[in-house]
Amino acid sequence: MRKERKLRILTPIERELFDLREKGMSRTQIANVLHKSASTIKNQYRMIRSKLGGG
């Protein structure tokens, strides 16, 4: 499945987090941008990887 097609299964917030991560931002940087804790970002990114088949 093409990357763009797979990304459609993400929620808008998951997509924003994914895009920030793809830009090379760290978990802490993303947490600051999204006004969330680093552990929340870690958990959300884990869910994203699960949805996209990356464990």
How many distinct structural domains can be found in the chain? Answer: 1
pTM of the model: 0.81
CA 23-29-24 angle, to 5 degrees, is 20
Dihedral over alpha carbons 39, 45, 50, 52 (to 10 degrees): 180
- Domain span at residue 42 reads 3-51
Section 37-51 average pLDDT: 95
- Is pLDDT of 1 > 60? no
Q: What number of other Cβ atoms are within 10 A of residue 41's Cβ?
A: 23
- Is pLDDT of 53 > 90? no
List the one residue out of 55, 45, 54, 53 whose CA is nearest residue 11.
Answer: 45
List the one residue out of 37, 39, 33, 1 whose CA is nearest residue 17.
Answer: 33
Q: pLDDT of 10-42, one tens digit each?
A: 999 999 999 999 999 999 999 999 999 999 999
